[in-house]
């Protein structure tokens, strides 16, 4: 069952936090783009036999890079902006049918290292009517198979805002 509800202030702050995290991640990419752009500007300065003027070449390069990166950032956050503008969230209700986990083992450069020193990431999922939803470990441990829960998602970016219990199994 799917319902629509209005976003509250806590939901809006979660969306804004997610948007800020995406922007900070893309800021690192922006720094790399700035370094590469600076290298091309230096190359333009070094060559005297360009078919266009050096100033024109640098201007076109900077215009292309800045507008391209601005478009890249916009597409990275457009779903978050749509969520904030729509001011609504979707609510899925259902029964938990399974609680799987997925363990991802990271690797580092030492092949002789034992498994205790290998980085490990455990992902927790709740399965509700054949839909597998990744949740935080606290949420995973809070519910059991057979519990009825409501899952609150943003409408465009599909951020899981909240999991609420409807009915506990065995009650």
Domain boundaries in the chain? 7-86, 88-167
Residues 6+ apart with CB under 8 A from 78: none
Q: Contact, 165 vs 140, CB < 8 A?
A: no
Is 126 in a helix, a strand, or coil? Answer: strand
Per DSSP bridges, beta strands 120-128 and 131-135 are: antiparallel
pLDDT for residue 50 is more than 80: no
Residues facing residue 88 across a β-bridge: 6
- Binning pLDDT at 50, 70 and 90, where does residue 17 land? very high
Give the model's confidence band at 111: pLDDT under 50 very low, under 70 low, under 90 confident, else very high. Answer: low
pLDDT band at residue 106 using 50, 70 and 90 as cut-offs? low
Judged against a pLDDT cut of 80, whether residue 137 lies above it is answered with yes
Angle between helices 54-86 and 9-46 (to 10 degrees): 170
Please give the CATH topology (third level) of the domain spanning 88-167.
Answer: OB fold (Dihydrolipoamide Acetyltransferase, E2P) (2.40.50)
The pLDDT of residue 170 is above 70:
no
Q: Look at 1 and 155; give whichever has higher pLDDT.
A: 155
pLDDT at 80: 92
């Amino acid at each position: 069952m799917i319902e629509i509800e209005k976003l509250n202030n806590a939901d809006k702050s979660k969306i804004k936090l997610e948007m800020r995290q995406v922007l900070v991640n893309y800021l690192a990419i922006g720094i790399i783009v700035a370094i590469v752009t600076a290298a091309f500007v230096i190359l333009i300065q070094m060559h005297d036999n360009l078919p266009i003027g050096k100033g024109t070449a640098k201007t076109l390069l900077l215009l292309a890079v800045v507008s391209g990166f601005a478009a890249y950032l916009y597409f990275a956050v457009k779903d978050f902006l749509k969520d904030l503008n729509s001011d609504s969230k979707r609510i899925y209700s259902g029964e938990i049918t399974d609680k799987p986990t997925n363990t991802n083992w990271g690797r580092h450069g030492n092949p002789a290292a034992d498994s205790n020193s290998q980085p490990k990431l455990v992902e927790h999922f709740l399965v509700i009517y054949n839909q597998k939803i990744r949740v935080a470990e606290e949420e995973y441990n809070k519910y059991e198979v057979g519990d009825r829960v409501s899952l609150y998602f943003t409408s465009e970016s599909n951020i899981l805002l909240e999991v609420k219990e409807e009915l506990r199994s065995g009650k």
